[in-house]
């Protein structure tokens, strides 16, 4: 073996493998950074479970009371959640996929992002090597009909069998290397890494995704201790301790990305660690039993790994042991280690085991240990062993091992070598050796102190989460700032929803840098259309654009070219005005200097943006700005444009003096007030009209404006431009064009000057010198120009080229069209940094879909990939409890008197067939918005679900539509025809009844709508529903389906009498919800116990969104809306209809919590039902101006029976809400379906 003397030897790394990406989630840790922080600080993440927790997890009370029941477990958060839409799954399919496979899929995406690769875009073959734990979701939550094994059962089998874990990832991420499922019990995920290595070294793939996952179901419970088994008696795992009495099972997911070491170096990958060698073997029969470990098997696999790594045992610095804490396993593992490493008085090899921190992760245990080992090698820190002080004396014998109770840093070592062991029940052993990554050579940093951080996601929620986490991560890591820019721009998949932040790495007041997040979210489109808007005179100021000149070489070159084209005296003056520090601010107000400065800045800015990929599709200019636009469109050469602008400014300054005033009112309101020399010179917008005239007349007009209570602002100019005052210089200006060649614009220009009394059109006037001469005299109608620009060119982005946002403000009052307004430089009165605003403007344009070349802009000075926070999925509950109804019926629940009402199933049968087919169709597609002629496959459906869809409809309508016919024409309209339905056109149209006198109930709603500001919402629940809702919380979740109907009441007051018109609409979807995820609470008012409940988001109320400084909020306006809901359980129990009437606005906070308070019980307690439509909910909400608590509470059985016996609802509803019985009746006599 070769002793590497603590240094890298490239020859010894010929068969090495680089770890280039990792992702994982473990108890108490949602990512690798949190995970390592817990480990290095020696925290135990196995949770103590209260009886309340266990009851909510569905553990039977009699089991909880068993003295051998251990109330501890390692619990992974939100295993019921999944971002189905991100991966293109519909709800029905997502709910039947093993949660282990869903977790692994999400973290495979994250791991590739961590490695700096865009999933689905990798051209090289990528292998997937994966394993998962025992699938208990299918056993506990799903029903299989094994007698017939139909399409639905086949789909469930595909979604749950271990055989489809790796291939699911390969399919969803478009990976074309080997895809292998590996199962070796506890060593599974470490074996996947060794298998992936072999595939890389034999060139079957160029990148390998390896790892494992384990989720325990039922989720959130403890376990029953049995003497003689491997489980800990007290719920603590204490490996190598005299107090060790077994292990604790836990949950987690870990995924790593591997590449050949030489390829990773050559391609500039970020290397987290280097795998030097790996080995796998089996014990065979050399042990006391099938499940027992073997000293020789473990020793042999470690020796083989060392040989393959070309290392001697003494080269190791740390070993992450299997360390289960069992009385049989620990001594055998220690004996195997001593056989390999021998005796050595130098205690230089640290021992540790992850299971003391998080428990045993079964199939994910190996990869969890491997990730820990990578962190040890990378950081050169040996974390503490939780029970080091308790380790057995015999483990401190002659071997070279030690246990540490605190973290030890090995910074003096250039390279740290770490061994990782994982041994599976059944005898498959694995050992891998990893070493520290090579030193990182930092790329040349960017010249810019301002950098863009670009974010995109598939949803606004995910986008905000990515931005928040990444911004927080980057602050304080300025040495990697350029790599962060590169990673976000070039190594993340660009999605539709986009935003950005700006990072100032040179902020003097913030040594860790300053990040300014954009509060705006854009939806990017393909090839958005851009318009450049060039500012006119009046926006200029001293040193405008100077920060950009200092930082951007291209802008500097263009600006220097402009100045070089000027006469020397003007050139010096303009340069001082733009860049000088001791220049008089008043000099830049000189008309000639002002116009030359503005033209120079605008030309340079436009050319710079165009070089960076921001190409204008159309141009528009305000007064002087039209000359800048013409030069950019190549109507004038740069030299000719400088001459024209210079002479224009000189001549305009020679005219008679006067004044101009901008009036904040429409033209029609101003013109009757004009007299004498006064005339309209500029119409900027519907609310901004500029008047010119003599100083005296303008002053008189100002007095008139005050009398009329109209706002007017006098402009800082001595010359009334675009008026008859310009007529004396027209001939002189005409002569300037002698010898100047005018060319048709290469980019369309929308002109704003009426040369003939009406707006000029298209390109013809720009090649005519007379147009430019009359441009001095004629009125500027920017208002009409912008309107024409938007109408004719349908632009998406209006970019102001010039200092400030004057034109943007005009546009805001001209059009309400959805157009993005982009400011590029600050104005005179803005304190913003010019470079910061310029970089932000390019980032904003990227957010709209413009392909900005940030590298050419000098804003990507590094090719390094930084391990930034990865994609933040919008994970919502997708949980199926098909067996819960049967379980519910087998409990000792009280019986209920029969309810004389129509069953839910019968109600559904009464719906139009059109609506029924619509409901079934939408359960199998993935896109909520679609046309009825869109293809089923384009909407995310696939063939297997298509078979299920047709099978369900054939069974319902007793028909035999062929699946091949549907696949030939897979549209909703064709589906209707196949089943003989012809009423599609009317199926979704609102039904409006004739006006009728308002009932007492409707009059009450009208009062609430217009006068009631603090009236609480009301929910009515009948006996059976209340009872079964409560018992569902007691005895286990059941399934509920809701069909929503919305009726809107429109009120009209005629002749003192109130009339109402009912507009009725059936909402299309079935909302399948898990009652187990909802809260019904009975609690004393003085004993509030806030908790969190989660439900599926299903909003049908009109919403208006606004933002505050802290976070977004939403107001749901529900005045005059009736909600009629029908409930049904999946086992066919009849549930009466429930009616919810909301009579006033409901405030919903940042976490989108909606609570309907119910009735009170005689003893002062409350029955409440809460619908939670997002995560991380606060412990309260505001309903009708009053607080309503969200409670999770277990009802004692005796209390429920007493409540049901008392029939409290019969009396209390009448006492609480007298004369409200009419709310229970159908509005307008229509039957509620």
Is residue 1196 pLDDT above 60, yes or no? no
**CATH number of the domain enclosing 623:** 3.40.366.10
In this predicted model, which residue has the larger pLDDT, 1210 or 240? 240
Q: Tell whether 944 and 1002 lie within a shared domain.
A: no
- Residue 919: inside a domain: yes
- Two structure tokens written together for 617: 């599709």
Are β-strands 514-517 and 497-504 bridged in parallel, bridged antiparallel, or unpaired?
antiparallel
- Two structure tokens written together for 329: 């396993």
CB 775 within 8 Å of CB 753: yes
The range of the structural domain enclosing residue 566 comes to 536-657+718-830
- Residue 446: inside a domain: no
Spell out the SS3 assignment of 275-289.
EEEEEEEECCCCCCC
**How many domains does the structure of the chain reveal?**
4
Q: Where is the domain boundary, 383, 413, 435?
A: 435
- Residue 1156: inside a domain: yes
**Active-site residue 942, yes or no?**
no
Residues above pLDDT 90, as percent of the chain: 49
- Residue 106: inside a domain: yes
Q: Tell whether 972 and 1009 lie within a shared domain.
A: no
The dihedrals phi and psi of 919, each to the nearest 5 degrees, come to: -60, -45
Residue 1092 confidence class, pLDDT cut points 50, 70, 90: very low
* DSSP assignment string, 538-577: T---TTTTHHHHHH-HHHHHHHHHHHHTS-HHHHHHHHHH
Residue with tokens 């028909």: 959
Q: Where is the domain boundary, 389, 417, 435?
A: 435
CA angle 726, 728, 733 (to 5 degrees): 80
Residue 9 confidence class, pLDDT cut points 50, 70, 90: low
Longest dimension (CA), the chain: 114
Task: Determine which of 301-315, 761-775, 936-950 has the lowest per-residue pLDDT on average.
Answer: 936-950
**Active-site residue 360, yes or no?**
yes
Task: Determine which of 365-369, 905-909, 1196-1200 has the lowest per-residue pLDDT on average.
Answer: 905-909
> Which is nearest to 506 in space by CA: 461, 447, 546, 444?
447
Is residue 442 pLDDT above 50, yes or no? yes
Residue 391 confidence class, pLDDT cut points 50, 70, 90: low
Mean pLDDT of 219-243: 89
Residue 1059 confidence class, pLDDT cut points 50, 70, 90: low
pLDDT for residue 91:
87
Residue with tokens 């009125």: 779
CA angle 343, 328, 295 (to 5 degrees): 45
Cβ neighbours for 406, distance < 8 A, ≥ 6 positions apart:
42, 384
CA angle 1005, 1007, 1010 (to 5 degrees): 105
- Residue 415: inside a domain: yes
CA distance linking residue 539 with residue 595, whole number of Å: 10
Q: DSSP character for 436?
A: P
CB 427 within 8 Å of CB 282: yes
Mean pLDDT of 1001-1021: 34
In this predicted model, which residue has the larger pLDDT, 446 or 246? 246
pLDDT for residue 767:
92
Q: Tell whether 55 and 39 lie within a shared domain.
A: yes
Catalytic residue among 38, 107, 219, 322: 322
- Cα 161 to the center of its chain, rounded Å: 30
CA distance linking residue 299 with residue 339, whole number of Å: 7
DSSP H or E segment with residue 1181: strand 1180-1183
**CATH number of the domain enclosing 926:** 1.10.1200.10
- b/e burial code for range 362-380 (CB count within 10 A of at least 16 → b): bbbbbbbbbbbbbbbbbbb
CA distance linking residue 300 with residue 339, whole number of Å: 9
CB 15 within 8 Å of CB 262: no
pLDDT for residue 600:
98
Q: How much is the CA Rg of the chain, to the nearest whole Å?
A: 37
> Which is nearest to 80 in space by CA: 1215, 1100, 1093?
1093
Q: Tell whether 221 and 282 lie within a shared domain.
A: yes
Taking each helix axis as running N to C, give the angle between helix 1023-1035 and helix 1197-1206, from 0 to 180 degrees, rounded to the nearest 10.
180
CA angle 226, 100, 63 (to 5 degrees): 30
CB 940 within 8 Å of CB 925: yes
pLDDT for residue 572:
92
Strands (E), 240-367: 252-260, 273-282, 318-320, 349-352
Q: Tell whether 976 and 897 lie within a shared domain.
A: yes
Q: Tell whether 47 and 86 lie within a shared domain.
A: yes
Q: Tell whether 1208 and 1179 lie within a shared domain.
A: yes
How many Cβ atoms are within 10 Å of 821's Cβ, its own excluded?
A: 16
Q: Tell whether 922 and 998 lie within a shared domain.
A: no
**CATH number of the domain enclosing 147:** 3.40.47.10
- Residue 633: inside a domain: yes
Residue 607 confidence class, pLDDT cut points 50, 70, 90: very high
Ranked by mean pLDDT, which of 209-213, 450-454, 687-691, 1205-1209 comes out on top?
Answer: 209-213
Spell out the SS3 assignment of 856-913.
CCCCCCCCCCCCCCCCCCCCEECCCCCCHHHHHHCCCCCCCCCCCCCCHHHHHHHCCH
- Residue 902: inside a domain: yes
- Residue 995: inside a domain: yes
Give the pLDDT confidence of 781-826 residue by residue, as tens digits. Answer: 999 999 999 989 999 999 999 999 999 989 988 876 678 999 999 9
Q: Tell whether 99 and 145 lie within a shared domain.
A: yes
**Helices (H) and strands (E) in the chain — how many of each?**
40, 47
Mean pLDDT of 64-81: 93
Residues above pLDDT 70, as percent of the chain: 72
> Which is nearest to 473 in space by CA: 443, 445, 519, 515?
515
Q: How many residues does the chain have?
A: 1233
- Two structure tokens written together for 463: 């986008």
Give the pLDDT confidence of 622-672 residue by residue, as tens digits. Answer: 999 999 999 999 999 999 999 999 999 999 999 998 999 999 888 888 999
Give the pLDDT confidence of 540-572 residue by residue, as tens digits. Answer: 899 999 999 999 999 999 999 999 999 988 999
pLDDT for residue 1113:
29
Q: Where is the domain boundary, 376, 405, 435?
A: 435
CA distance linking residue 615 with residue 1066, whole number of Å: 47
Residue 1202 confidence class, pLDDT cut points 50, 70, 90: low
- Two structure tokens written together for 521: 């979210």
pLDDT for residue 421:
97
Is residue 938 pLDDT above 70, yes or no? yes
Are β-strands 1153-1160 and 349-352 bridged in parallel, bridged antiparallel, or unpaired?
unpaired
- b/e burial code for range 1116-1132 (CB count within 10 A of at least 16 → b): bebbbbbbbbbbbbbee
Catalytic residue among 38, 219, 360, 1006: 360
Cβ neighbours for 841, distance < 8 A, ≥ 6 positions apart:
799, 822, 823, 824
Q: Tell whether 1035 and 982 lie within a shared domain.
A: no
Mean pLDDT of 1185-1200: 34
pLDDT for residue 910:
34
Task: Give me the chain's average pLDDT, please.
Answer: 77
**Active-site residue 322, yes or no?**
yes
Is residue 1163 pLDDT above 90, yes or no? no
Q: Tell whether 901 and 1020 lie within a shared domain.
A: no
Task: Determine which of 465-479, 509-523, 994-1008 has the lowest per-residue pLDDT on average.
Answer: 994-1008
Task: Determine which of 293-307, 308-322, 459-473, 1125-1139 has the lowest per-residue pLDDT on average.
Answer: 1125-1139
How many Cβ atoms are within 10 Å of 270's Cβ, its own excluded?
A: 21
Catalytic residue among 44, 186, 484, 752: 186
pLDDT for residue 943:
72
Is residue 323 pLDDT above 60, yes or no? yes
Give the pLDDT confidence of 1118-1136 residue by residue, as tens digits. Answer: 222 222 222 222 222 222 2
Ranked by mean pLDDT, which of 94-103, 150-159, 757-766, 904-913 comes out on top?
Answer: 94-103
Residue 601 confidence class, pLDDT cut points 50, 70, 90: very high
Residue with tokens 């949980």: 879
Give the pLDDT confidence of 959-981 residue by residue, as tens digits. Answer: 888 877 888 888 888 888 888 77
Q: Tell whether 92 and 56 lie within a shared domain.
A: yes
Task: State the virtual CA torsion across 243, 247, 248, 250 in degrees, nearest 10.
Answer: 140
Q: Whole-angstrom distance between the N-terminal and C-terminal Cα of the chain? A: 81
CB 779 within 8 Å of CB 754: yes
Where on the phi/psi map is residue 908: left (φ > 0), alpha (ψ -120 to 50), or beta?
Answer: alpha
């Amino acid at each position: 073996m070769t002793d590497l003397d603590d240094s890298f030897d490239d020859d010894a790394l010929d068969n090495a493998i680089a770890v280039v990406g990792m992702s994982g989630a473990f108890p108490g840790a949602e990512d690798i950074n949190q995970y390592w922080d817990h480990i290095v600080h020696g925290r135990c993440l196995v949770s103590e479970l209260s009886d309340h927790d266990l009851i909510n997890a569905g553990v039977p009370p009699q089991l909880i009371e068993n003295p051998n029941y251990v109330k501890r477990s390692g619990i992974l958060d939100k295993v019921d959640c999944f971002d189905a839409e991100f991966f293109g799954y519909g709800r029905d399919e997502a709910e039947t996929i093993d949660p282990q496979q869903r977790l692994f899929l999400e973290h495979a995406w994250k791991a590739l992002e961590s490695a700096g690769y865009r999933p689905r875009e990798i051209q090289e073959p990528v292998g997937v090597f994966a394993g998962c734990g025992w699938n208990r979701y299918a056993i506990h939550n799903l029903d299989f009909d094994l007698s017939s094994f139909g399409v639905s059962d086949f789909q469930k089998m595909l979604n749950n069998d271990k055989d489809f874990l790796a291939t699911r990832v390969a399919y969803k991420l478009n990976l074309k290397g080997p895809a292998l499922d590996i199962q070796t019990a506890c060593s599974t995920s470490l074996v996947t890494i060794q298998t992936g290595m072999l595939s890389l070294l034999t060139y079957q793939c160029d990148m390998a995704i390896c790892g494992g996952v384990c989720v325990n179901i039922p989720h959130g419970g403890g376990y029953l201790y049995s003497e003689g088994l491997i489980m800990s008696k007290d719920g603590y795992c204490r490996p190598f301790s005299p107090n060790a009495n077994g292990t604790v099972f836990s949950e987690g997911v870990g995924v790593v990305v591997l590449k050949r070491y030489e390829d990773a170096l050559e391609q500039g990958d970020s290397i987290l660690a280097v795998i030097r060698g790996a080995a796998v073997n089996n014990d065979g029969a050399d042990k006391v039993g099938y499940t027992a470990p073997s000293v020789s098997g473990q020793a042999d696999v470690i020796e083989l790994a060392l040989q393959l790594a070309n290392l001697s045992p003494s080269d190791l610095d740390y070993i992450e042991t299997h360390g289960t804490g069992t009385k049989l396993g620990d001594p055998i593992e220690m004996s195997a280690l001593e056989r390999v490493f021998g005796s050595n008085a130098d205690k230089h090899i640290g021992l540790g085991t992850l299971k003391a921190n998080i428990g045993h992760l079964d199939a994910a245990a190996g990869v969890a240990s491997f990730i820990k080992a990578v962190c040890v090698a990378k950081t050169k820190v040996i974390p503490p062993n939780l029970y080091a002080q308790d380790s057995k004396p015999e483990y401190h014998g002659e071997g070279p091992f030690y246990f540490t109770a605190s973290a030890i840093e090995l910074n003096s070592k250039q390279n740290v070598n770490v061994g990782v062991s994982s041994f599976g029940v059944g005898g498959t052993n694995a050992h891998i050796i990893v070493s520290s990554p090579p030193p990182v050579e930092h790329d040349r940093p960017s010249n810019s102190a301002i950098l863009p951080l670009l974010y995109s996601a598939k949803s606004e929620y995910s986008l905000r989460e990515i931005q928040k986490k990444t911004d927080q991560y980057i602050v304080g890591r300025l040495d990697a700032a350029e790599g962060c820019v590169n990673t976000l721009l070039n190594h993340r998949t660009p999605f539709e929803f986009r935003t950005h932040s700006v990072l100032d790495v040179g902020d003097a007041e913030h040594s860790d840098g300053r990040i300014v997040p954009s509060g705006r979210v854009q939806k990017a489109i393909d090839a958005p259309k851009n318009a450049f808007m060039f500012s006119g005179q009046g926006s200029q100021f001293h040193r405008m654009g100077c920060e950009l000149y200092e930082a951007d070489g291209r802008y500097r070159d263009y600006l220097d070219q402009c100045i070089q084209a000027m006469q020397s005296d003007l050139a010096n003056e303009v340069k001082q005005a733009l860049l000088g520090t001791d220049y008089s601010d008043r000099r830049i107000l000189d008309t000639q200097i002002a116009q030359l400065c503005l033209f120079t800045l605008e030309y340079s800015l436009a050319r710079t943006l165009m070089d960076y990929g921001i190409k204008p599709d159309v141009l528009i200019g305000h007064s002087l700005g039209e000359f800048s636009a013409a030069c950019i469109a190549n109507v004038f050469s740069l030299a000719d444009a400088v001459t024209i602008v210079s002479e224009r400014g000189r001549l305009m300054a020679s005219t008679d003096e006067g004044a101009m005033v901008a009036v904040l009112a429409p033209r029609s309101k101003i013109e009757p007030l004009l007299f004498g020399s006064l005339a309209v010179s500029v119409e900027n917008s519907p609310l901004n009209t500029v008047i010119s005239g003599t100083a005296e007349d303008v002053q008189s007009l100002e007095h008139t404006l005050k009398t009329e209570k109209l706002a007017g602002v006098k402009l800082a100019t001595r010359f009334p431009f675009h008026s008859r005052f310009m007529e004396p210089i027209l001939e002189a200006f005409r002569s300037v064009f002698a010898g100047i060649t005018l060319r048709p614009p290469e980019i369309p220009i929308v002109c704003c000057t009426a040369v003939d009394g009406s707006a000029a059109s298209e390109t013809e006037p720009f090649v005519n010198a007379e147009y430019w001469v009359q441009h001095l005299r004629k009125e500027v109608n920017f208002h009409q120009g912008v309107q024409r620009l938007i109408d004719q060119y349908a632009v998406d982005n209006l970019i102001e080229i010039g200092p400030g946002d004057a034109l943007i403000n005009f546009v805001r009052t001209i059009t309400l069209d959805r157009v993005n307004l982009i400011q590029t430089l600050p104005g005179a009165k803005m304190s913003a940094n010019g470079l910061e605003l310029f970089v932000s403007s390019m980032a904003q344009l990227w957010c709209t879909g413009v392909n900005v070349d940030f590298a050419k802009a000098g804003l990507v000075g590094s090719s390094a990939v930084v391990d930034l926070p990865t994609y933040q999925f919008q994970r919502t509950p997708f949980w199926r409890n098909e067996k819960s109804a049967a379980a519910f019926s087998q409990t000792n629940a009280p019986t209920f008197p029969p309810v004389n009402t129509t069953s839910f199933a019968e109600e559904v049968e009464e719906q139009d067939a059109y609506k029924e087919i619509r409901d079934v169709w939408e359960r199998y597609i993935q896109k909520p918005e679609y046309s009825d002629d869109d293809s089923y496959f384009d909407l995310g459906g696939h063939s297997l679900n298509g078979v299920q869809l047709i099978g369900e409809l054939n069974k319902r309508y007793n028909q035999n539509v062929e699946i091949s016919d549907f696949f030939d024409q897979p549209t909703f309209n064709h589906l209707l025809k196949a089943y003989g339905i012809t009423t599609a056109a009317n199926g979704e149209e609102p039904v409006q009844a004739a006006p009728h006198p308002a009932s007492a109930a409707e009059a009450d709603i009208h009062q609430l709508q217009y006068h009631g500001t603090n009236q609480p919402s009301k929910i009515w629940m009948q006996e059976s529903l209340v009872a079964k809702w409560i018992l569902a919380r007691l005895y286990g979740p059941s399934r509920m389906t809701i069909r929503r109907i919305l009726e809107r009441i429109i009120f009209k007051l005629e002749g003192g009498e109130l009339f109402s018109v009912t507009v009725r609409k059936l909402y299309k979807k079935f909302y399948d919800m898990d009652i187990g995820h909802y809260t019904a609470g009975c609690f004393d008012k003085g004993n509030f116990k806030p908790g969190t409940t989660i439900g599926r988001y299903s909003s049908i109320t009109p919403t208006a969104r606004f933002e505050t400084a802290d976070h977004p909020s939403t107001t749901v306006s529900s005045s005059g809306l009736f909600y009629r809901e029908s409930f049904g359980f999946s086992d066919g129990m009849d549930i009466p209809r429930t009616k919810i009437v909301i009579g006033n606005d409901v405030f919903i906070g940042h976490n989108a919590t909606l609570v309907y308070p119910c009735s009170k019980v005689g003893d002062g307690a409350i029955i409440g039902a809460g619908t939670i439509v997002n995560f991380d909910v606060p412990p309260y909400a505001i309903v009708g101006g009053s607080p309503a608590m969200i409670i999770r509470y277990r009802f004692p059985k005796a209390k429920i029976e007493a409540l049901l016996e008392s029939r409290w609802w019969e009396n209390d509803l009448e006492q609480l809400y007298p004369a409200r019985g009419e709310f229970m009746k159908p509005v307008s006599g229509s039957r509620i379906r």
